[in-house]
Amino acid sequence: MWRPWTRWCGGTCWPTWWRPSAPWTSCSARLTASAAGIAVSDNSLLPDAARAAIRASAARFPSGRQRSAVLDALRLAQEENGGWLSLELMDAVAGELELPPIQVYEVATFYSMFEVRPVGRHCVSVCTNISCWLRGGRELLAHLENRLGISAGESTVDGRIFLKEEEECLAACTGAPMMMVGHHYHENVTPDEADRIVGGLS
């Protein structure tokens, strides 16, 4: 899901709806670094195995085209960080790929597969596109919101489950309504089946 910037403020590089407690590099400094193609990063945030995998992914593309590896690099980084991407981690990805940080930020904030705030251990997505909607997808999502005591886009208090914001399509229309837990698809899901699935998540 595309998350449009609302407005710039206070000399920071991010919109008002998402500000961390730690100080941020100023807009001018970060934009200067970006213009020069410099990534301000701490690559120690990425384990050696993840860094090696990112470099291997970038090596599949022609010289100067390492930007093509951003999606895969962010996926690897997010998996290493409990399901979300911090600003510092995105900077580390930019540094590993030798890209301006903005080229990583814009990808991370465009695709719904990436989260830029802490989330629960298990990511649960319910498809609400037309096929699933016609077969009870929205009712299934509402059932889970009631069952978990949270709204879509929130995590449970115990940090166990993150109920992702509505998904438009997960490409399993023949199994509607469907939900995805982590990377695993569950098709033809009933409310009782959904209860069983989320109840088994530790």
The pLDDT score that the predictor gives to residue 41 is 54
Q: Which residues contact 23 (CB under 8 A, 6 or more apart)?
A: none
Instruction: Residue 169: give its domain's CATH number.
Output: 3.40.30.10
Q: What is the mean pLDDT of residues 6-32?
A: 37
pLDDT in tens, 52-89: 999 999 999 999 999 999 999 999 999 999 999 999 99
Residues 52 and 82 in one domain: yes
Q: Give the residue from 87, 94, 91 showing the smallest Cα distance to 69.
A: 94
Residues 131 and 194 in one domain: yes
Residues 46 and 90 in one domain: yes
Record the pTM. 0.70
pLDDT in tens, 143-195: 999 999 999 999 999 999 999 987 788 899 999 999 999 889 999 999 999 99
Domain that holds residue 165: 122-199
pLDDT in tens, 25-56: 333 344 444 434 544 456 678 899 999 999 99
